[in-house]
Every structure is written in structure tokens, then in C-alpha cells.
Structure 1
């Protein structure tokens, strides 16, 4: 099975880090190569331009792809399925126009010119709203086109909106919210190896921002402990034996909690008699 991964840019490193966290380490390096084997002999990485990856998957050069949802929607291959939001590379595709101009609503671009690197996404967006502008495809510096009289408005990617503000452009509407997705061709979605990859990546994402707590707690105060750490479906409770094999009135409690709650949770646990509290990171969490 081949997984197409962005070969460079802001998506490459996070994609590779996620694959490695999921156990799919590249065994022969990935720099300046088109392919890289992984520790799984059935899985190979293929490196391509982020914008080309949907076509690679659709045409069969790769079975699974990792790239921005905006690229998938722009390519619109028709035979791929979006499997998993990988949670990085978040951005928005927006309709914007000069902040001192007369375009303040989507309807105002009817009969006007809109420049974009995403003509297919733009056409579908305007069709859904019953608006018919003249769409001009450009390949970079989209935000400059209204100022050189190439377009009246633009559809472009923004993360923070800073570039638009610098170029005195105001956001009129959000066209698409995007992040990096794992997707596959329709005919391999139910393939066992594809399902294994999805599960491995999901387990890494599920573990993000979680911590594993282990502690001893008085058995007679277990209900109070449960109130403090409900965990995933409730904490796991095990007996603790004393030196002679006798129970000493303590139980071992294990639970998963959100990282942001750890500080307060530990203090609350101490207040109900917990001791020997240990907090560890979680690499993968299969739910």
C-alpha cells in the first residue's frame, strides 16, 4: 500500500511526525526521495506536491493520501473518501474584497471578477448561492489582484487574516474551513491495511492532550475519587495487597484525564486521600 505525503512545505514535517508516532517510521530516510519504505513491509510512502496528491490517489499511483481538504475539494476526483481529520494545517478559504470598496455581500460579486487559485471550489460555492461572477484562475499573489485591477474580489486561503488586513482586504464570507485529512480511493477504503493505518493515526490523535494517572486511594473513599476523575468510561480500579498478601484498605486507580485538568485533579485527589500519584504521557489511545 502506498501513502502519498506532501514532499515539502508546512505540511510535510507534521505529516511525517504523525506517521512516525503511529509506528510507520521511514526506514531509509525521506529527504530528496520520491519513495521511502517503512517498518511495515506492506506500506510505502510516496512524496508529492500537496496539490497533486488527490490526483495520485484517484489515478491509483497511491492508495491513501495526506493533504489539505482544500486541495481534495479543488481536485474533486469523485472516487475518493475523506477518512480522518488529522487536526493540523488548519486554515480557511474566504471570499474577500477591498475594505473601502462596494462589495460587502456575496451577492455583490454578481457579474464582477473574482480571482482565485481554487476555481473549482469557487464555482461550486457561487453556484450554491445563485451568484454568477467571472472567475479568473491565478497562481499566487492572489491578494494583490484587486489592487492591480485584475479582479474585484478574491477567494484565497487565510490562517490568521493578517495578510488580508495588510493588503486592505475585508472578509465577506467563509467559503471552506480546511485542515489536513487522510483520504483514500473508494475501492480500498475497506482494505485491512488501510483500516489499520486509520486506527493507528486515530489512536495518536486520541492521545493528544491526554495524560494517564495512576495512584493508590482508600477503598472506602472510592466514590469520592470517582467524582474527581470520571476518566474514559470511569477509572480502572484494582486491589492493592500488603506485605503479607492481605488487603490494606487501599486500591490502585488508573484513569485518563485531559492534560489541562491535571493540576487541579491532583490537588482534588490528595484531598480525598489518594497517594503515590503518578502522571505519564500517552503515545497512543485506542478507544
Structure 2
């Protein structure tokens, strides 16, 4: 049986629990439990702080974990990245007070930078030849310049709203992160086989995101032209209708081009167009 470490609370916990549920893995949630058994897959769930997950996987306390790549990079633990999961996207960036005239990275020379990610920042500055005083802070990094603790900060940025509220502006994007499935190195063949099964389920869910399943009725004579508009993953499914001269076309379309494609199909002569959500898509 696999043991998976996940974030005990927070946004990654919510997204991870939703992913497990979509993969047919039912986990009984309890704020008082450290470990929970699951139904639908031979796995048990270990609830931890996100910054403890890389170490737990490295030490073998858990076989696999779901955690942000920022935590993996900061902890520096030897673990394998199995797959990226497409949620929890953010970046770790350098930010300076809004009024600062920022000429480039050299501005940070001999400055004090507050961060919760000293390892990642130290490596970045070393690569760029910048010598700065890195001041580690456990939380509320964004207030450091305002209270005189630092000249700038290095912190997670999602929308950038928190920076604006604290009179800061982002000047350098250093590290991109998202949630990933990680695994302990040196697992036995049985556990590796279970990880592949888990990865297969997760892949089918991640692959379906950003796509819609579209059905429409279209005159048979226009099918070839419609196929040129929506070539689909391999090719659309075409089924004859009871009405002579008409058929039904089934196709998967990426969300970012969905409405442009639907409008062109409508202009071509398609009718009764249905747009449905995809739960799983197995490549």
C-alpha cells in the first residue's frame, strides 16, 4: 500500500482532495487525523505542512507526496518528480518598494532581501553574481520593507494584489511553481507499479482540463468543411442521423478556441450544438 503526503490545510489541500476524488479515491476528511485510509485505491493519506512534505518523502515516511515545486526546490531533498498536476500555479519573485527607480539586478548588490525561500534566492544570486544579505522570515514577508527590516523581498506571487497593497512592485520573476506528484527514490517494483497506476488516473484528469466535449448536428454535405475547422485530437466522430442528409459530429475542442470554433461551425450550418464538460480523457 502506498502512503501519500498532502497538505493538511490550505488551497493545495482543497485542490488535492478534488483531484483524488476525481480519480475515484475516496478519503475520509478529518481535521484531527494525521493519517486516513482511502477507498478506491490501495493508498493511505498522511496530512502534513507543505514544507514538511519533501523531507517526509525523502526519508520514506511517505512514498509519494503532492506539494508545490517551490517547496521541493527550497528543501533541496533528493526526490523524483513524477508529474506536474496543473494547479497551485505561482511564481517566486523579487519585489521592491514602488517608488524605487529599479535599473536591473545589480540594484540588489549589498542590499537586504527578506524571504521565506533563502535557498532558492541564494542560488539565484550566486548564478547572477549578486552579493546580498538574505534575511529569512517565516511569514508576512511583504511588510519587511515598510517596517525597515529589508530593502526588498523575495516571495510567492499569484495575482500580485498583496504586493500592491503593501506598496511593492514585482521586478524579477525567478522561479515558476505548481503542484507536483513527487516520489521517494529507490522504491520497490510493487510501489512503482502502484505509482504508475496513480499517475495514469491523474493524467486522465489533467489531460481533460482545458477541453470541452462538443456535439452538433450538421448536413452530411458539410462534414468535410467542418472537419477542417475542428480537426480534434485525431479526427471527429461522425454518426448518421435518422433524418436523411444529416449526421451528428462529436469532437473535443480546447477551451481557449472553443467559441471561435463554435461560431464558425454555426455559420457553416451546424445546429443543436451542445458543449459538455470533460471529467476524464485517457490519451
Instruction: Give the TM-score taking structure 2 as reference length.
Output: 0.87
Distance 1:34 1:241, change over 3 A: same
CA distance in 1, matches of 2:270, 2:101: 65
Distance 1:262 1:116, change over 3 A: closer
| 1:281 pairs with 2:252 | no
CA distance in 1, matches of 2:175, 2:235: 38
* Residue 43 of structure 1: aligned partner: 43
| Map 1:111-260 → 2, pairs under 5 A | 111-188=110-187, 191-238=192-239, 240=240, 248-259=244-255
CA distance in 1, matches of 2:8, 2:164: 30
Aligned-CA RMSD value? 2.6
Distance 1:166 1:252, change over 3 A: closer
CA distance in 2, matches of 1:64, 1:53: 9
Distance 1:71 1:220, change over 3 A: same
| Structure exhibiting the larger radius of gyration computed from Cα positions | 1
Structure 1: tracts of 5 or more residues without a match? none
Q: CA deviation at 1:262?
A: 4.6
CA distance in 1, matches of 2:246, 2:143: 68
CA distance in 2, matches of 1:68, 1:75: 11
Q: Secondary structure at the match of 2:61?
A: coil
8 Å CA contact 1:93–1:157 kept in 2: the answer is yes
CA distance in 2, matches of 1:149, 1:212: 54
Q: Secondary structure at the match of 1:234?
A: coil
* Residue 64 of structure 1: aligned partner: 64
Instruction: Give the TM-score taking structure 1 as reference length.
Output: 0.86
Structure 2: tracts of 5 or more residues without a match? none
